C-alpha cells in the first residue's frame, strides 16, 4: 500500500496530526506544521515532475499512479487513488496554501495546538479528496474537510462567528446531502461501481438517470463552489473565519466544489451535462456578475473578497459547463489562480486586521505609507484579481473567455460576453478598495505607529505572489499538465467535443 506515492498525501497529514497531538509548545507546533507542509509541497512538486516525465514517456492512461485497495468489498467500495494533471495542480495548490497558511497563523491565539490539529485535519480531507478516484472515499474526504471548518471558525473566528460557522456548516452539509443522494444514485445506475474512471470510460450511467443525478451532484458540489443562489455562506463564513482558515477555505475548499463538479457531474454524466448545462449556465453566469456587483458596495474587506470569490468561482463553474477543452482548461487555471490570489488576499486582510483591528475600509486609509510591504502585496493581489497580464488571473480568464466563445450557440455567447463584463466590475471594486485602503491620506492617526510585515508574513505573501506570477508568466506549462485530461480520446469516450 505504501509503495504508491499518492497515499503519502494522506499519510503525511495524519503523521502531522499525531505529532501535533504530542507537541508541547508553540515552537514544536510550528515546526511540525511547517515541516509537514513543506514535505507535502515537496511531494507534490516531485509528483508533478514525475507525472510529466511519465507522460512524456508515453503513459496514456487517463489517470496515473492508480491503485486500488479494497475497503468495503461487498459494496465494491475501494480506496482507489489516481491522479491526472488537474488533481496534481490542485495538490500543489493545496500544499502551497497549507504552507502559507501555516506561516500566516504563526502567532495564532488561543489554543494553537488545537488550531493546527483542525487545520491539518481539514487538509487531510482536501488532499484525500484530490487523490481519490473512488466516489465513496472522495465523498468521505469531502466531508472530512468540511467539519473542522465549524470549529475553526467558531473558536478562532471573529465577529458573529457562531452564526457564520453554523450557517456555513449547515449550508455545505445541505449541499452534501444532495451530493450523497447523487453519488448513491450513480452507484446503482452506473454499473455498481464507485470508480470514476470505470464509470467514465464505460459511460455507464443511463441517460435518463443522468438527467436526475447530474443536477444533484452539480448542486451538491456547486454549493461549495459558491454557485448562486447557494453562495450566502461564503460572505459570512469568510468574514468570520481566522486568516489561515479563510485562505484554505477560499483557496482550496471552494476548489473542491469546482473540481467535484467537473470530476463527478460532468465527467461521469456528459449527456446530461449537455442537456442541462443551460440551467446552470444561467445560475453561474448570474454568480459571476452578481458577485462582482455585490462586491462593489461592501465595506468589509473580507466581504468584498468573499463576493469576489463568488464571482471568480462562478467563472470556474461557468467555464466547466461550456464543455469544451479550452474553457475547461481555463476553469482549471482559474481554480488555481483564484485559489492563490484569494489566499493572498485573505492573508493580507488578516495581517492588516491584526494591526488595525478593523476590516472596514471606511475606517482605514493611506496604509501604503504605513505598511508599504503589505500594501504593495495587496496591490499585486488586486492586480491579479482584476486580470493583469503577467499574473495568474489574466491567463485563466482569457482562456475561459476564448473557450466559452468557441461555443457556437448564441445563448452561450451572450452569457460569455456577460461574464466578460465582470472584468470591468472587478476593476471597479478592486480599485475602490485599493484607493480607499492603501492610498490617500492616513485616515486614523493611531495607525501611524503600526509596523510593516514580519518575516513570517513576508514568507507567506511572497510565496503566494511568486506562484501567482509564475502561473501568469508561464501558462504554457499548464497545457502540458492538463493536456491529457482533456485529450480527444477522453472526450470521445465521455462524449464531448
Comparing CB distances to another protein, the nearer of 44 and 325 is 325
Q: Residue 408 or 449: which CB sits closer to another protein?
A: 408
Cβ proximity to another protein: between 162 and 489 the closer is 162
Smallest distance, another protein to C-beta of residue 42, A: 26
At its nearest, how many Å lie between another protein and the CB of residue 223?
A: 11
Instruction: For another protein, give the closer residue by CB, 249 or 412.
Output: 412
Tell the smallest beta-carbon distance from residue 36 to another protein (Å). Answer: 19
Per-residue three-class SS string for the chain: CCCCHHHHHHHHHHHHHHHHHHCCCHHHHHHHHHHHHHHHHHHHHHHHHHHHHHHHCCCCCCCEEEEEEEEEHHHCEEEEEEECHHHHHHHHHHHHHHHHHHHHCCCCCCCHHHHHHHHHHHHHHHHHHHHECEHHHHHHHHHHHHHHHHHHHHHHCCCCHHHHHHHHHHHHHHHHHHHHHHHHHHHHHCCCCCEHHHHHHHCCCCHHHHHHHHHHHHHHHHHHCCCCCCCCHHHHHHHHCCHHHHHHHHHHHHHHHHHHHHHHHHHHCHHHHHHHHHHHHHHHHHHHHHHHHHHHCCCEHHHHHHHHHHHHHHHHHHHHCCCCHHHHHHHHHHHHHHHHHHHHHHHHHHHHHHHHCCCEHHHCCCHHHHCHHHHHHHHHHHHHHCCCCCCHHHHHHHHHHHHHHHCCCHHHHHHHHHHHHHHHHHHHHHHHHHHHHHCCCCCCHHHHHCCCCCHHHHHHHHHHHHHHHHHHHCCHHHHHHHCCCCCHHHHHHCCCC
In the complex, least distance from residue 388 CB atom to another protein, rounded to whole angstroms = 5
Identify which of residues 41 and 121 has a Cβ nearer to another protein in the complex: 121
- Least separation, in Å, of the C-beta of 335 and another protein? 17
Closest contact distance (angstroms) between CB of 111 and another protein is 9
147/493 with CB nearer another protein: 147
Between 201 and 489, CB nearer to another protein:
489
Q: How far is the CB of 260 from another protein (least distance, A)?
A: 16
**Distance in Å, CB of 146 to another protein, minimum:** 8
Indicate the residue among 47 and 186 with the shorter CB distance to another protein: 186
Amino acid at each position: 500500500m505504501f509503495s504508491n506515492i499518492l497515499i503519502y498525501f494522506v499519510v503525511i497529514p495524519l503523521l502531522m496530526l499525531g505529532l501535533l497531538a504530542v507537541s508541547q509548545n508553540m515552537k514544536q507546533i510550528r515546526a511540525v506544521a511547517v515541516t509537514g507542509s513543506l514535505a507535502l509541497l515537496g511531494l507534490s512538486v516531485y509528483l508533478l515532475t514525475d507525472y510529466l516525465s511519465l507522460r512524456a514517456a508515453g503513459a496514456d492512461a487517463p489517470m496515473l499512479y492508480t491503485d486500488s485497495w479494497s475497503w468495503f468489498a461487498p459494496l465494491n467500495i475501494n480506496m482507489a487513488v489516481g491522479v491526472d494533471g488537474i488533481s496534481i495542480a490542485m495538490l500543489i495548490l493545496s500544499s502551497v496554501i497549507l504552507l502559507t497558511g501555516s506561516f500566516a497563523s504563526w502567532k495564532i491565539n488561543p489554543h494553537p495546538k488545537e488550531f493546527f490539529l483542525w487545520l491539518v485535519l481539514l487538509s487531510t480531507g482536501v488532499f484525500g479528496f484530490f487523490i481519490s478516484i473512488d466516489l465513496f472515499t472522495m465523498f468521505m474526504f469531502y466531508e472530512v474537510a468540511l467539519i473542522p471548518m465549524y470549529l475553526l471558525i467558531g473558536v478562532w473566528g471573529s465577529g458573529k462567528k457562531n452564526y457564520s460557522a453554523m450557517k456555513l456548516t449547515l449550508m455545505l452539509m445541505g449541499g452534501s446531502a444532495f451530493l450523497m443522494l447523487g453519488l448513491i444514485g450513480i452507484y446503482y445506475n452506473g454499473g455498481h461501481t464507485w470508480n470514476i474512471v470505470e464509470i467514465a470510460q464505460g459511460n455507464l450511467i443511463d441517460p435518463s438517470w443522468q438527467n436526475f443525478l447530474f443536477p444533484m451532484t452539480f448542486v451538491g458540489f456547486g454549493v461549495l463552489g459558491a454557485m448562486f443562489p447557494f453562495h450566502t455562506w461564503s460572505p459570512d463564513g469568510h468574514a468570520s473565519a481566522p486568516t489561515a482558515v479563510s485562505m484554505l477555505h477560499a483557496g482550496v475548499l471552494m476548489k473542491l466544489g469546482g473540481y467535484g463538479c467537473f470530476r463527478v457531474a460532468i465527467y461521469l454524466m456528459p449527456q446530461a451535462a449537455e442537456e442541462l448545462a443551460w440551467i446552470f449556465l444561467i445560475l453561474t453566469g448570474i454568480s459571476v456578475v452578481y458577485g462582482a456587483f455585490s462586491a462593489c458596495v461592501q465595506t468589509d474587506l473580507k466581504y468584498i473578497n468573499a463576493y469576489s470569490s463568488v464571482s471568480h468561482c462562478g467563472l470556474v463553474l461557468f467555464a466547466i459547463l461550456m464543455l469544451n477543452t479550452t474553457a475547461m482548461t481555463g476553469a482549471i487555471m482559474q481554480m488555481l489562480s483564484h485559489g492563490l490570489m484569494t489566499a493572498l488576499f485573505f492573508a493580507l486582510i488578516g495581517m492588516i486586521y491584526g494591526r488595525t483591528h478593523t476590516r472596514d475600509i471606511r475606517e482605514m486609509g493611506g496604509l501604503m505609507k504605513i505598511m508599504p510591504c503589505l500594501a504593495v502585496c495587496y496591490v499585486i493581489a488586486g492586480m491579479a484579481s482584476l486580470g493583469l497580464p503577467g499574473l495568474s488571473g489574466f491567463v485563466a480568464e482569457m482562456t475561459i473567455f476564448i473557450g466559452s466563445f468557441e461555443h457556437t450557440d448564441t445563448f452561450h455567447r451572450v452569457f460569455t460576453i456577460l461574464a466578460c463584463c465582470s472584468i470591468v466590475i472587478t476593476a471597479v471594486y478592486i480599485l475602490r478598495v485599493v484607493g480607499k485602503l492603501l492610498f490617500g491620506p492616513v485616515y486614523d492617526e493611531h495607525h501611524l505607529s503600526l509596523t510593516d510585515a514580519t518575516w513570517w508574513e513576508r514568507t507567506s505573501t511572497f510565496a503566494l505572489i511568486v506562484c501567482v506570477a509564475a502561473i501568469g508568466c508561464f501558462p504554457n506549462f499548464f497545457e502540458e499538465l492538463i493536456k491529457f485530461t482533456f485529450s480527444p480520446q477522453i472526450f470521445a469516450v465521455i462524449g464531448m467535443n
